[in-house]
Amino acid sequence: MSVTETEASPLPALQGQPIERVQRDGVEYVMLGTAHVSRSSMEAVEALLAHEHFDAVAVELCDSRAQSMRDPEAFKQMDLFKVIRQGKAGMVAASLVLSTFQKRLADQSGILPGAEMKAAMDGAEQRGMPLWLIDREVGTTLKRAWRSVGFWQRFGLLGGLLASVFERDEIEQAEVERLKQGDLLESAFSEFASESKPLYESLIGERDAFMAARLREEAAWSGGGTEGRRVLVVIGAGHLKGLSTQLREQQDDPAVTVATLASSPPKSQWPKWLAAGLVLLVFAAIAWAFHRNAALGTNALLAWVLFTGGFAALGAVIAGGHPLSITAAFIAAPIKPFRPGIPAGGISAMTEAWVRHPRVVDFDSLRDDIVHWSGWWTNRVARTLLNFFLVSAGTIVGEYSAGIHIFRSLI
């Protein structure tokens, strides 16, 4: 059974608020569709908790996002070396870029995004009720979204993220209103999500199915089959329709659905094989050059070293790297094919972090610094991440440039 309430309510804070009541397996789910940057949504959460009885509270958060809300300073404990070694530099950088968008929005609207989720968590804790974190890990969602789109669309996504860093104009009111009614991740990629069904599915559709399965899973674990159990579900308004539909119609084992949607899709292998094929062709060309004569082979090998090392080092220079991290980039890039594991960008970035170890003040001011483009060069944490990306990009440009130069010299 499903009932949608948007009509007048005896409680002023609930007037016009979208509330969906769905009963499933003996449990009543009272779903409040919230606006992520609206004071009225926070007040609606508080009003429901104060005037209705619930046995549990569920929120559209994953463990990492909930921890970030509970302890906004937790990121200060980030181990940059570990982040780079584990290949998570891209995810951390994307999260930081998204946080700059959120901060601009908060400064403009006066409301911190997610205030209603914080109110729901605080309300559950004050009343001694179980808190269910039902959303998929944001890192998994970003990975699945990234891998759901084609090669060229990824450049568009990167461009959109970079534009959010360099854009200084106020966020248009129409965009603020969309954020009030939708999903923060969807809004951040709104232009692409509206044009790409796979991207929309990763950001919204899959999460609707995941959260429905998580609600069923939590209810089963807590004895939710007993009549009379009531759960307050606080979600973004953009998920209200999809989640209620999934909750009514979903038939699969919730544990299977959760496990399937929580897994990261396998990486596409063709870019890896294309890059490996290019390197093999280049080294075959170098070997052929040595076969023809030593001078030609030496020139080809020197071109490989200078192009790959030079462009990688240039990336470190643009990132404002220390001379040692620039040198590390120059040395690591040419031997990349013989050194599987950490890429040249990772070696240069770790050198940068070792020489210019981030200070406490860099972590303290990180979120504020990166709102302005210059902060990516002045903050040591941000500069280390920037070093990683620019050196990695320079290495790729150098490999292609070296290949073109060597083949042209042999023709």
Q: Specify the pLDDT at position 268.
A: 66
Residues 6+ apart with CB under 8 A from 107: none
The partner residues of 4 in beta bridges, in order of sequence, read 20
List, for residues 277-315, the tens digit of each pLDDT value.
878 888 888 899 888 888 888 999 999 999 999 999 999
Q: Specify the pLDDT at position 3.
A: 44
Q: What is the mean pLDDT of each run of 10 residues along the chain (411 residues)?
A: 48 80 92 78 90 93 83 67 74 69 64 80 93 91 79 64 56 53 54 64 89 94 63 90 93 93 76 75 88 89 94 95 95 83 87 84 72 80 89 91 88 76
Q: Specify the pLDDT at position 165.
A: 55
Q: Specify the pLDDT at position 366.
A: 73
DSSP helix/strand/coil, 49: helix
Q: Specify the pLDDT at position 379.
A: 86
88 burial level (CB within 10 Å; 0-12, 13-18, 19+): middle
Sheet strand arrangement including 56-59 = 2-5, 19-24, 27-34, 229-236, 56-59, 131-133
Q: Specify the pLDDT at position 380.
A: 86
Q: Specify the pLDDT at position 2.
A: 44
This prediction has a pTM of 0.70
List, for residues 59-71, the tens digit of each pLDDT value.
999 888 888 777 7
